[in-house]
Every structure is written in C-alpha cells, then in structure tokens.
A and B are shown apart, each in its own frame.
Chain A
Amino acid sequence: MSFFADPINFISDWLSALFAGWGLASGWVQFLLFILGAGVLSLGAMVFTVFLIWLERKLGGRFQDRIGPNRVGPWGIFQTIADMLKIFTKEYITPIGADPVLFNLAPVLAMAAVLAMWAVIPLSSTVYGSNINIGVLYVLAVGALGELGIILAGFGSNNKYALLGGFRAVAMLISYEVPLAITLLVPVMLTGSMGLNDIAAAQKTWFILQAPVAALVFFIASIAENGRAPFDLIEADSEIVAGFNIEYSGLKFGMYYVADFLHAFTAALIFATIFLGGWRGPGAEVYPVLGFLYLLIKTSIVYFLTIAIRFSLPRLRIDQMMAFNWKYLTPLALVSLLVTALIDKTLPAGQVWLRLGALLFANLVVFVLADRLVSAYNRRKAVERMVVSEPRPVAVTIREKPAEVPEVQS
C-alpha cells in the first residue's frame, strides 16, 4: 500500500511501527493510535467548521444578492478566524437564577453530539473511525443528544424566551425524529446491516434510486433536525428573539454556532453516505484516496442544496410544521417502508434491473399519490375555512349618513 493510494493508513502503519519500535506492547500501541485518530478526526472536524462558516456566509450573501464577507483576506476567507479570535476574549455572562450545571453543560453536549457522529462515518473504503454494526442506531441516538443540549439550555437559562425555545425544541426536533428513524429502516432493509460501512459498500446502485421517497423524507427531516430555515422555529429571531441560546455569550454561544454549521454539513455527509453511495465511485476500492474525493463531491452537492433552501424559504408556523410532520412525512415514510418491503420480497431474486425499476416506479407512484391526496385535502380545508369565517375586510370605508335629527317638540 503506497502513500498516494491510501495516505491515512500509510501514516497509521508507520506510527504503529514507530511505537512498536519504542518497545510498547501491541495493546498500548493500538490504544495510542485510537486516541490520536479520534483527536485528529474531531479536531479536524471543528477546524473545518471555520471554513464552512465562511462558505455558508459567502453563499448566503450570493443567494440574497449581497457580496458576503469580503474584507478580511482574499474573498474575506479569514473573516471567521477574526470572529473566532474575538469570541474567545468575550466575557461569559451568567444570568441571575440560571441553573449552573445545566447552563454550562448544554453547549458542551450540543457540540459533542455533532462531533460524535463523525466516529462512525466511513470517509473512504479503508478510512473510518469505528465500524460498529449498529451505526445507524448510533447516529440516531447521538443526534438525540444534541436535542437534549438545546432543551437543557432552554430550561437552564432562567429566561422565558429561552424556555419557549426549549418547548419548541421538544415539540419540533423530537417529532421530526420519527420520520427520520422510519426512513432509515429502508436502507437498512436493502443492505441487511446497520453498519454505515456496509450500507456504503452495498450501494452498487445508489439507494436514492431504489428509495427516492425515503431519501426525500430523510432529507427534509434532517434539515428540520438541524433547526435551520425554513424549520428554524426554535431560534426564531423575530418571535422569541434567539430562542434557547438567548442568554449565552462568549464561546458558549460560539459552541452553539459551530455546532449548527457543523451539523448541517454532517447531515449532508450522512445523507451522502446512506443514499448517495458514500465513497463509492470508479476506482475508489483500489485507490481509497479517491473515495474522499467522491464523498466530498456528493456531500458538497447535498450541502449546497441545504444552503439554497435555508436562504430561499421563509419560516413556517408551528402548527403548519407539526401538521407537515405528523400528517404528511410520517405516513409517507410508513407507506414507503411498506411498499419497499413488499415489492422487494415478492420479486424474483437475482434480477437487479427489474428490482430497481419496480422500486423506482412504485416510489414514484407513492409520491404522486401523496401529492394528489394532500392537494385534495388542502382544497377541502380551504373551502371549510371560507365557510366558517366571515369575510373580514381590511379597511372599511364608513359612509357618513346625515344624522337624523329628531324634531324636538317643545
């Protein structure tokens, strides 16, 4: 294995030979390598966020017909570093009556939850943190830990706005976990394993072609899990000022900021791994370094889509949001699960193209049916609304009648 085909494992082999040469037992060598690998991966993810924040601000500027950061360095690329230096020297303000344990624990939890997801994502055919056989379940569980960070921040801040943000987090983030968990069943079913390495390796044809409805629901739910526009109710600036992170200052707020941006990228990474074939591509098994490139390209496309959605759509109301989740996404996810399970089992084994075509066709039918149903439902609702509520004109012109003066008889 040469350096250029697989640099990470080359370095790791070299390091383990080095440690063994120092006379360490093989168990300790493994342990040291684990610590080094975990440290490099999680620190690398955090430092990468510096670039992500600049990228998102720049792209957001372009979407809104602005220039975006353009003063510090070429194309403003050092803007985030300047911001980081500033936020490091900002004072921490702890509000009176805040719960000290929860208030300080919450930002750490929110950040740790996002970082911990990187442990199971296969970055290439040979480079991955941990190849546990319950990777999907781990991603779901750790994602829920991030919600805990938000809820604890809302409760611990001793602020009514923060508490309202926490309530909304309970209602929204928790609800959107349900379609997320149901749609993740479909790739697990098609693979026969919950390990993310196995799921990525099993995609000779990408799962987005075999389960497009599940992929769509997963994509929407992962944006909602991230809590950004159009699902940014938990930190709605114009309603509850900043929601759960209103009382945070200095780097504690910075942790929420970093966690938000890194979460968006991580969600794109997980989508690319589960539905877009991960590191798979021509030559990726022989030269694992190509796997990084393929994964990066796929992730960038998904990430670009999330940014485009964030900067184009307005915020939804909370009742619309909950109705969208429980009355549309969850039934759709259940139906797509049922259709995939039944069709995949009834078709004869071995016929790859027939299977692919049937699944794609069935998914399209499900999607069109769901779309028709929702349109019909909305039309009926619109009629009901028209009947129930009287028309209320915005402005009324009052026509002054000449006052009838009763004739006074005296």
Chain B
Amino acid sequence: MLDEWLYLVIFLAISMFIPAAAIGAAALLSPKKPAPIKNSIYECGIETVGPSRIQFKAQYYLYGLLFLIFDVETVLLYPFAVAYNRLALFAVVEAVVFVIILAAALVYAWRKGALEWA
C-alpha cells in the first residue's frame, strides 16, 4: 500500500516538473526584448485607470460560502458511501436524513435569495 503512495508522490513531482521544465526550456530559446509599452497591461485601447486588483461583487463571496458548506458535507458522506454495502437499512435512513438536512440548507439559501444573481 505504501508503494502506491510513493508512486503517487513521484507522479505528482514529475507532473509538476514537466511543465516547469518545458517553460524553462522555452525561456532559453525565446528572445528577451522587454519594452515599457510592450510590458504595459492590456486594456481595451486606453491605459488602465486605477489599481487592477479591484473590489469584487459580494455574490461571488456568497457562492464561495455555499460551496464550502456543500463540499464539506459531501466529503462527510464519502465514508457512508464506502460502507454502504455493509450497512443496515436503519443506518441508510440516517444518512438519508443527513442528506435531507443538506437539501433543507439549499432550500433555505434559495428562499433567502442567495442563489439569485443580483
């Protein structure tokens, strides 16, 4: 079992290394002639006004929160899914109640208007 994890670590290291090496090799091949106009920020025909890292809409933050709730609760369901074949009906009903609570959270967010793109 440990061998499988060792392979995974090696694979992750190599899959990070290959794109980095390709980018590095291209950096050696490519010309380097920076110029102030060339390096300026792209904008639709005019110069950029003000700082680029602007404030963002609150809606993005709401979706981020919703994602956090649902993803964490879904990950909690994975042990249940793995053990499903060995569970009695009662345990499955318990998991169903858990999922219904999850759905209730979704309905609550819906009714509160968190899902509307305003």
* Contact size range, A: 35 or more
- Determine whether the beta carbon of B4 is less than 8 Å from that of A115: no
A95 to B41, CA, bound (A): 6
Q: Which residues of B contact A43 (CB under 8 A)?
A: 18
Known: A39-B14, A251-B26. A96 touches B41 (CB 8 A): yes
A159 within 8 A of B: yes
Contacts of B78 in A (CB 8 A): 136-137, 185, 188, 194
Which residue of A has the minimal Cβ distance to B33? A91
Interface size of B by CB at 8 A reads: 74
Give Cα A81 to B67, complex, Å: 40
Residue pair B117, A319 in contact (C-beta under 8 Å): yes
Interchain CB contact (< 8 A) of A92 among B7, B19, B30, B40:
B30
Q: Which of A37, A89, A178, A193 contacts B71 (CB 8 A)?
A: A178
Given A35-B14, A115-B18, A323-B115, A192 and B84 touching (CB < 8 A)? yes
Chain B residues with CB under 8 Å of A192's CB are: 82-86
Complex: A38 Cα to B14 Cα, angstroms = 7
Stretch from A50-58, A124-132, A363-371 forming part of the interface with B: A124-132
A177 surroundings in chain B (CB, below 8 A): 67, 71
Number of A-B contacts (CB under 8 A): 221
Expressed in whole angstroms, the minimum distance between the Cβ of A158 and any Cβ of chain B is 5
CA distance A107 to B102 in the complex (A): 36
Is the CB–CB distance between A115 and B15 below 8 Å? yes
| A326-342 interface (Cβ within 8 A of B) | 326-327, 330-331, 334, 337-338, 341-342
How far does the alpha carbon of A251 sit from the alpha carbon of B20 in the complex, in Å?
10
Ranked nearest first, the 10 interchain pairs of A and B with the lowest CB-CB distance are A319-B117, A115-B15, A251-B26, A111-B19, A119-B11, A192-B85, A188-B81, A38-B11, A189-B81, A181-B74
Given contacts A34-B7, A132-B5, A175-B63, 7 further A-B contacts (CB under 8 A): A34-B3, A94-B39, A119-B12, A137-B78, A171-B64, A192-B86, A334-B106
